[in-house]
């Protein structure tokens, strides 16, 4: 092996060892659940924020200028929700599928989260101008009204994930209900 390659290989091994140790440290402390919860919470904020654009833009037309931001917020929300799931699968359960299945059994909140995330997949995949053009705006809009199912499920998941009811998910749900009522009233 050439010296340069050997050095690269040794350094890669060192990096991998460090990464392994970091992951072990995260698992040993309570950091895995911290990371899981923080990613889940930020995913919820961002996803709910995407739903505020239409009503806020109605009352403050100047805000419509920021409409293109909605797509970014939604994609980041989706990415964080995926991270949240990945943390659960890797750091919390270490790919122990049977154990995960056991945990899901009878745990409604996990199913709500899973369905919410699955519904977000087609939305994330079509959150680009090319997909919008291909589908045609009407079809695209119809697909994206799935948001009105996915976000309530995600926030329901948040509420039920709590062992004791805390103010935050209730507050997010109140905002969500306000948006849904507004949408219902302004549907044409």
Chain residues in the site for ligand HEM (CB under 6 A): 36-37, 40-41, 43-44, 81, 84-85, 88, 110, 113-114, 116-117, 120, 154, 157-158, 161-162
Q: Which is nearer to ligand HEM, 58 or 148 (CB)?
A: 148
Q: Which is nearer to ligand HEM, 63 or 124 (CB)?
A: 124
Tell me the closest approach of the beta carbon of residue 6 to ligand HEM, in angstroms. 42
Q: Which is nearer to ligand HEM, 26 or 63 (CB)?
A: 26
Cβ-based neighbour number of residue 84 at 10 Å = 22
| ∠ Cα 52 186 167 (to 5°) | 40
Tell me the closest approach of the beta carbon of residue 18 to ligand HEM, in angstroms. 27
Tell me the closest approach of the beta carbon of residue 158 to ligand HEM, in angstroms. 4
| ∠ Cα 177 38 128 (to 5°) | 65
Q: What kind and span of H or E run contains 87? A: helix 68-87
| ∠ Cα 44 179 54 (to 5°) | 95
Tell me the closest approach of the beta carbon of residue 70 to ligand HEM, in angstroms. 16
Which residue is listed with tokens 């140790």? Answer: 21
């Amino acid at each position: 092996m050439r010296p340069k390659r050997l050095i690269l290989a040794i350094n890669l091994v060192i990096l991998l060892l460090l990464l392994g140790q970091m992951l072990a440290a995260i698992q040993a402390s309570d950091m895995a659940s911290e990371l899981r919860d923080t990613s889940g919470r930020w995913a919820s904020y961002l996803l709910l924020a995407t739903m505020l654009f239409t009503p806020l833009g109605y009352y403050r037309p100047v805000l419509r200028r920021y409409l293109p931001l909605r797509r970014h917020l939604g994609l980041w929300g989706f990415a964080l929700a995926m991270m949240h799931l990945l943390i659960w699968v890797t750091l919390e359960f270490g790919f122990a599928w049977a154990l995960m299945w056991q945990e899901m059994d009878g745990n409604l909140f996990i199913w709500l989260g899973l369905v919410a995330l699955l519904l977000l997949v087609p939305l994330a995949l079509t959150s680009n101008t090319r997909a919008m053009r291909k589908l045609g705006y009407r079809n695209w809009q119809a697909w994206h009204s799935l948001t009105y199912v996915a976000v309530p499920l995600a926030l329901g998941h948040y509420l039920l994930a709590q062992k004791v009811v805390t103010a935050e998910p209730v507050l997010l749900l109140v905002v969500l209900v306000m948006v849904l009522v507004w949408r219902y009233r302004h549907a044409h």
